[in-house]
Structure 1
C-alpha cells in the first residue's frame, strides 16, 4: 500500500512495509512511538519539494478545493511509472482528491479510519522519515505557507466582495446629504443677488452651471445658456434678470459663489460615476436581487444585514421589516400594530401598488427577494442573466394586477365583483299592479280557466286561445278591474274599522260627539261616490270592448275553426265579471250594515258623554261663583294689614325714645357718683 502525504515543504509518497498491522487501527500508534519503529513500518519512496511560496500556495488552494494541481499530477505520474499500479493501493486523506486520482490514473484509492491513524503517525515522525530537511525549516515553511494562504483567501474571497457594495452605498448616501447642503447654501447665497432665479431653475446642477457661466445677473442678456437650459426657461430667466429685485454684490462675492458651484458640479459628477460602479457591482454579485428590488434598495439591504450571506440567512419576514427596527420594538412595547415594511418600501414594485395593497405587495416582494438572495449567495453557478429574478418579478407584477383588478387572468373575478356592485346599485322597480286575489278565480281549478283559455298552449300563455289582440285586451282589462274593485273594498273596510275605533277612543277622551258623527258620515259618502264612479267606468268600457271583440270573432270564424273556442272563452269571462259584480254589491251591503251598527253603538256612548259634559259645566259654574268671594276676602286681609302698619311704626318710635332716656339716666348717675 502507498501513502500520499502533503507537507509545507512538498509532496511525499510512502510505502507501508507491515500491511498486516493496518487491520488493527487502534494499536497502530505503537508502531510510531520511536523513529526506528516508524522506519520499520513506513518507507519513503519519492519526495518533490516546492520551488517557491507562490507554487506552494497555488497547490494547497487546489487541494482545499478538491482539485489536482499540475505539480501533483506530474509528481504522481513520475512516481507511478516506477511502480506497478495494478497491484497497489493508494491511501489518501481527502476522499475528493482520492476520487480524482483514481479517475485520472486508474489506481485503487483508500480513505478510512486506518488511513487517518497512519497519517497521524507519519506526521509525528516526519523529521526522521524525510531526510535532508531540518525540523526548524519545516516549521518555518508551514508558518509562512499559512500566512500567505490566509492573505490569498482575503484577497480573492467571493464572500468579501460585497464589502465594496456596503462602502459604496454608504458613500452614496453621504454624497446625497453633502450635495443637498452645498446646493441649498449656493441658492441662499446667490439669492440675495438674483432671488427670482430659484423659482425658474429648480434643478441644483443646472442652477450651479448657470451661475458659473453667467456670473452677475447683468450678464444674463449677453451669455448663451442654450446648452444648460431649454429655450423657454432661458427666455424667462433673461426677462427676470432685467426686472430683478436683488441687491448688488462685489466681484469677490461672486468668485466665492462660483467656487461653491464648482463643488456642486464636481460632487454630482462623482455621484453619477459612483452610482454606475454600484450598479455594475450589484449586477455582478446579486443579479437576481437587483432585478426584483433595484440596485439602491438591494445595496441598502446588504449593508443593513452586514453581508450578502447574512441577508440570505434572514427569513422573508425579517427582510420585509429590515430598517424599521425602532418602529417594530416601539409597536411591541406599546402593543400597537407592527410595521408592514422597512427599506423594501422604496422598491419600485411596492411603489406601484395602491396604498391599501402596499402591505401585501411588500410581503410578496420580501419572499421573492429572500429566495433571490439565497440563490445569489449560495449557488455554485452564477446566474448572470438573472432568469430567476425576472420570473419572480413577473409573478409579483401579475399579483399586483390581480389585486388591483387590471389583469386579463383575473377578469372573471373582477367582472363578478363589478356585476355584484351593479346589481346593488340598480334601483328596484316598484310593482304598481295589485296582488294576486284568489277570490277572483271563479272558472275552476284548471289552468285553462286560470288564464282564460280552453285549449292550446299559446293561448294559455297570453290569456286567449287563438283570438285577436282586441279580445285579449278585453278579458285582461275586465279581470284587472274586478280585482282592483275587490282589493280596494277590502282595504277600505279595514281602514274604516281602524279609523272608527280610533274615533271612538278620541270621543271618549275629549267628548266631541258631533265631530265623530260628521267624520263617519263624510267617509261613508266618499266610499259611495268612489263605488259609483267605478261602476260607471265599467259600464262605459264594457259595450265598446264587446263590440270590438265581436267584430274580431266574426272575421276569424270564417277562416279557422278555433274561433268557436274563443267565443266560448269570452262568454266565460263575461259570466265571471257578472259574478264578481254580485260579490262586490254583497260586500258593500255588509259594509253599510256594519257602519250603521257602529253608528248606533257610538250614539249610546254619546249620551254618556253628554251627561259627563253637563256635570263638568256645573262644576265650572260653581268654581266661577266661588272666585269673587275669595277675591273679596283677600282684599279685606290686605286692607287690615295696611291699617296695622302705621300703629306698629308709632310703637317702635316710642320704644326707641324710652331706650335713649334710660341710657341718659345711667350716664347721669355715673357722673354723680
Structure 2
C-alpha cells in the first residue's frame, strides 16, 4: 500500500512496510513518536519536486478543487502500477480513479497515517530540512492567497451589487426627507406644495424663505421662474397656514426641547402623555429595567428619557433621583397645560425651569434635613417611672380618672348595659329548654302542640 502526501516542495509517495500494524488504529500514533519507529512502518518510495513557485501554485490550486494536475498524474502513473493508493481527500481519489487505473482508499487508517507522516516529515524525506520547509510553506500560502483574491470570481460582482444597493438606499432616504420637508413646512405654508412641484426646488425655496412673511422681500429668480415666483409671493400673503412656532410652548419653554420631543414620541401623542402621572413620566423609556427590577426585587430605575435633560446631567449622582422626581412633576403639569389649556405663552415653563434650577442649587449647597420618619431621625421613647410623678406633683388617682380623649368609653358601655332589659321569651314562638337539677338533661316543650290544643278548645 502506498500513501500520497502533498508538501509545499512537491509530492511524496510512502510505502507501508508492515500492513499488519494498520489493524489497530488507536495504536498507530505510538509508532510515529520517534523517527526510528516511524521508519519501520513507512518508507519514502518516490518524490516529485516542484520546479518553481508557479508550478507549486497551480498544483495547490487544483488540489483545493480536488483535481489532480498533469505532473501528479504522470508521477502516479510511473510509480503506482498495481498498488493501492491512500489519499487524504476522497474527492481527489475519485478524480484519480477516473483518469488512472489506480485504486484509491480514504479511511481512518489513512488519516492516522497522514497525521504520523506530518509529525516526522523532515526525518522521513531526506534533503528536506526544517529550516527550508517553513519558508516554502509561507511562500506558497502567500502566493495562493494573492491568487485567490485576484482571480476569485465571487469578488468581481460584489462591488456592483453593493453599489446598486447603495443607490437604492440613497433614493429611499432622499424621498423620505423630501416628504418630511413638505409635510412639516406644509403646516406653515400649505399652498407652496402645489406651486413648486420639484423636491429640490421646494427645499431651496424653503431654505431661502424661512417664514412665509419674508417672501415678499426676497428674490427667487435664481431658483424659480418669474411666473412661479409671482404666484408664490401672492399665495404667501393670503396663506391659511399656522403661525405658531411651537405646538407645546410650556414644555418647550423649559429649554429641553429634544428631551420633551422624545417623551411625546414615546407616548404616541401629546394628549396620551398628558394622561400619565408624574411618576410614569419619570420612568418613561425605562420600562424593561422597571419590570426586571420588580421581577428580581431589586431597586427600580430613577429615570428614563428624562436622563437626557441637561438639569439631571448637571446634578451630582446622589441628587439625580431627587431632581428627576421634581422635574417629572413639573413636566407633567406643563404637558397637561399644553394639551388641555387655552394659553399660548410659555411663562409657566420658564417659571418651572427657574424653580428647578433653584432646587438644584439648594441640593448642591447643603444636604437636606433628616425627615422625622427616617430611621436615623426617629424620636427617642422614654421609659415611664412613677417616681417622676411625685416630683412633678401629679396624683395617680387623678390620672386614672382623667382621659386625654375625654370620658372613658368603658363607663358608657356599662351604663348602656344597665339600661338594657332582657326581653321575655315568648313560649309560643320559640322552643324553651329547662334544665332539671337532679338529672341534668334538658326538657323541651313544643309550641306547635299547644297551638293545636287552643284551636280545639275554640271549636
TM over 0.5: no
Question: Of the two, which has the highest radius of gyration?
Answer: 1
Q: Which has the higher helix share?
A: 1
TM-score norm. by structure 1 comes to 0.27
TM-score norm. by structure 2 comes to 0.38
